[in-house]
Amino acid sequence: MALASAGVQVTLHVNGVHLVVLPTQDFRNLTVTGSEFKLSGNEVILLNSTSATITYFTTGLSLNFSSPTPMNMTLLIPSGYEPYSVFPEPASVYFHSGGIYMSFYTPNVTVILRPLGQQYNPYVPLLIAGLTASSGTTVYLGFLLMRQRRRPKEEVETEILGEDELDPRDRQVLKALMEGATTLSDVVKMTSLPKTTAYRRLKRLTKMGYIEEVRKEGKVIYQVKRNERK
């Protein structure tokens, strides 16, 4: 988390759009990776890609992002902060030591943050800065927060949906398969990853087309596709 004097560091992964409207013009040190860009007021215009990572610092805790069309968006809420109100309901939430990853597919997202330190009460409807959070979204998010805080740290992983790039754990699992692992148990032994993490990575690699899942004699076998062995 950034120092209080520098504000909150906001990291936003977007996919499928050329224009992203940031909450306000109260941002500093804005960077964009994955695409050249043009900044017009609080509008970030992606010039040569529809997928990019936007990072900046802000002193505001009310974040609203929008685009002309629905976008795949993953927002990283930095450690030291938690979502106090979220609309609409996120498609997925992943927890990591670096913060909370919330994924959406929508043209508009509003997230209100608050510093950690207060007990989260998911049953109280919230009214902040004119935004009324639905009790359904509040209860849903509160349930996820409490459930994930009870999970062992080794089971918590970063997994950003909508990204085509492999992260270190994906590559670790893929390398194990290339070196002879064929089952989930093999991957766990060769990578020392938690079983749940290895399983999710295998499913992710299958979905991305790097490997294929084959059933042989009642067992699930994972195989690297030929074009990925090169």
Domain boundaries, the chain: 4-155, 168-228
Q: Is the pLDDT of residue 98 over 60?
A: yes
Cα distances (Å, whole numbers) of residue 102 to 26, 75, 170, 230: 22, 5, 20, 34
pLDDT in the model for residue 218: 78
Q: Which residue has the higher pLDDT, 96 or 218?
A: 218
Q: What is the mean pLDDT of residues 162-191?
A: 85
pLDDT in tens, 140-159: 455 455 555 544 444 444 44
Q: What is the mean pLDDT of residues 104-126?
A: 68
For residue 63, what is the enclosing H or E element? strand 62-78
3.30.930.10, 1.10.10.10, 3.40.190.10, 2.102.10.10: which CATH number matches 168-228? 1.10.10.10
Q: What is the mean pLDDT of residues 194-220?
A: 87
Q: Is the pLDDT of residue 101 over 50?
A: yes
Q: How far apart are CA 35 and CA 52, in angstroms?
A: 6
Q: Which of 15-24, 81-90, 177-186 is least confident?
A: 81-90
Other Cβ atoms closer than 10 A to 115: 13
Q: pLDDT over 90 for what percent of the chain?
A: 28
Alpha-carbon Rg for the chain in angstroms? 20
